Amino acid sequence: MSWLSVVGVIVFLVGLMVSIGLHEIGHLVPAKLFGVKVTQYMVGFGPTMWSRRKGETEYGIKWLPLGGYIRMIGMLPPRPTDAPGKVRSVSTGPWQGLIENARDVALEDVRPGDEDRVFYRKPWWQKVIIMSGGPAMNFVLAFILFGVVLMGFGVPTQKTEIASIPQCVKTAADYAKNPECTAADKPSPASVAGLRPGDVIVSVAGRPATSWDVATRAIRDHGAGPIAIGIRRAGQELTVNAGLIAQDRESLDEPGKIEKGVGYLGVSPKIVIEQQSLGAVAAHMGDLTSATAASLLRFPEKMVGVWHAAFSGDERDRNGPIGVIGVSRIGGEIAAAAIPLENKIVVFINLLAGFNLAIGLFNLIPLLPLDGGHVAGGLWEGIKRGFARVARRPAPGHVDIAKALPLTYAIAFLMIIMAGLLMYADLVNPVRLSG
């Protein structure tokens, strides 16, 4: 591994730690605003690298950059009290023992005077805000990072202006053998039609070409045969008749998939770097959020692919799950790549933004021990109290999420197994940007 790769790994890990730290701040700030006692704020897991106490909270960094946490007192309610005059029933079952032990741990930092500072006694809406603050911080950070890329650096944009026209039609294999056109090669439809670099495509088959994507799709959908191409050349509007041919081309919607016999003209767009608007950032964030959410729904299926890649040598899916080790290696690969520094910075920022988006969505899954499980508990408590208010019934007690701990332990166990599988796969068969 080159020194540039090492620098890339370190830079990404620092960005990861900052993201984790901000996630926990998303919990910490509303918790303190609502009066919940927070005894620890930690970034990372394992042994403590550094810590300092300020007031009632210990702030620190741990050695393993695999997450973080804040410790709020009274996350779980105490045991339900038994009726007066009755002996408190005690279950000796294994799950009940774990639940009771978890209750004791949650309340061990409660001191006299802290009765109103425990988490479980806070109004349901405060619980929801506290627990959704972490994922919300990830979303805000992702939006800011995407904004830096799209609004600051800009993105390559395909214009409807023609940049180049191949004089002949060649397959990739033929082009690799001889990039020059020969008498045996078929002339490209664009060159036969008289199109020139600098022409701006304004319509295809009589329909406006508002973007290069629109023009390309119209040409492909038309298939082989004559077609009218409206262009603007030197300020004048012209119509050129071209004879499209059928070609096998890579899908515009599914990279890697080949579409058979689509219409082919033979032109390349002019590409310019354009800074985007705030609305474009929001649209980009929305599209990626939908795509990431869809990927999370297929997470179990994709983990099967990770298993095969780890133990059967199958190729890793670039769009599949990847762990901290794998993402860090990609950071090193980016740093060592022979591309301009500005491009490296853009890729790094995009990588970190996508990581924050994925972590934010993952944490909103309504299962404990994820933040979404606590959010779901708070919302359920709010629904129950709202129904009781409408029905004029006594307010119900706090939702006892401790009852879900058996499921929590099972999910936590699965998460540990999946994390271990990802770490192993990232070591023996990592995702690579280059082939």
Output the domain CATH number for residue 170: 2.30.42.10
More confident position, 98 or 216 = 216
Q: At what angle do helices 405-428 and 324-336 cross, to 10 degrees?
A: 30
Q: Which two tokens stand for residue 410?
A: 């099972």
How much is the pLDDT for 180?
83
Lowest-pLDDT range of 52-56, 227-231, 251-255, 375-379: 251-255
- Position 320 confidence tier, pLDDT thresholds 50, 70, 90: confident
Instruction: Report, as an integer, the average pLDDT of 70-85.
Output: 70
Q: How many Å is the Cα radius of gyration of the chain? A: 29
* pLDDT over 90 (residue 218): yes
More confident position, 65 or 55 = 55
How much is the pLDDT for 367?
83
How much is the pLDDT for 86?
42
Residue 215 resides in a domain: yes
Instruction: Report, as an integer, the average pLDDT of 357-383.
Output: 90
Q: Locate tokens 């002019």: which residue?
A: 270
For 25, half-sphere exposure in the C-beta direction (CA atoms, 13 angstrom radius) is 10
- Position 87 confidence tier, pLDDT thresholds 50, 70, 90: very low
Residue 190 resides in a domain: yes
Q: Locate tokens 């979404």: which residue?
A: 372
* pLDDT over 80 (residue 351): yes
**Tens-digit pLDDT profile for residues 224-275:** 999 999 999 998 999 999 999 998 888 888 777 888 889 999 899 999 998 9
Domain ranges, residue 162: 156-274
For the question of residue 24 being annotated catalytic, the response is yes
Determine contact, residues 266/188, Cβ cutoff 8 Å: yes
Helix extents (H) in 109-211: 124-147, 172-177, 189-193
Lowest-pLDDT range of 26-30, 265-269, 376-380, 398-402: 398-402
How much is the pLDDT for 228?
94
> Which H or E run includes 296?
helix 278-297
Q: How many structural domains compose the chain?
A: 1
Residue 219 resides in a domain: yes
* pLDDT over 90 (residue 286): yes
Residue 177 resides in a domain: yes
Instruction: Report, as an integer, the average pLDDT of 76-102.
Output: 55
How much is the pLDDT for 94?
52
Q: Give the mean pLDDT of the chain.
A: 85
Residue 238 resides in a domain: yes
- Position 309 confidence tier, pLDDT thresholds 50, 70, 90: confident
Residue 217 resides in a domain: yes
User: CA 233, 239, 242, 244: dihedral to nearest 10 degrees?
Assistant: 100
* pLDDT over 50 (residue 84): no
Lowest-pLDDT range of 54-68, 81-95, 289-303, 315-329: 81-95
How much is the pLDDT for 98?
57
How much is the pLDDT for 202?
94
- Position 90 confidence tier, pLDDT thresholds 50, 70, 90: very low
d(CA 203, CA 200): 9
| pLDDT > 70 in the chain, percent | 91
Determine contact, residues 70/27, Cβ cutoff 8 Å: yes
How much is the pLDDT for 270?
92
* pLDDT over 50 (residue 60): yes
Catalytic annotation, pick one of 24, 161, 333, 381: 24
Residue 76 resides in a domain: no
Whole-angstrom CA distances from 382 to 76, 181, 375 are 17, 72, 11
pTM attached to this predicted model: 0.79
* pLDDT over 70 (residue 435): no
* pLDDT over 80 (residue 401): no
How much is the pLDDT for 93?
52
Lowest-pLDDT range of 18-27, 106-115, 120-129, 213-222: 106-115
* pLDDT over 80 (residue 96): no
More confident position, 200 or 308 = 200
**Tens-digit pLDDT profile for residues 143-161:** 999 999 999 999 888 999 9
Q: Which two tokens stand for residue 360?
A: 């934010």
DSSP single-letter state for residue 168: E
> Which range among 73-82, 162-171, 202-211, 308-317 has the greatest average pLDDT?
202-211
How much is the pLDDT for 103?
67
Q: At what angle do helices 94-107 and 405-428 cross, to 10 degrees?
A: 90
Instruction: Report, as an integer, the average pLDDT of 416-423.
Output: 84
Residue 364 resides in a domain: no
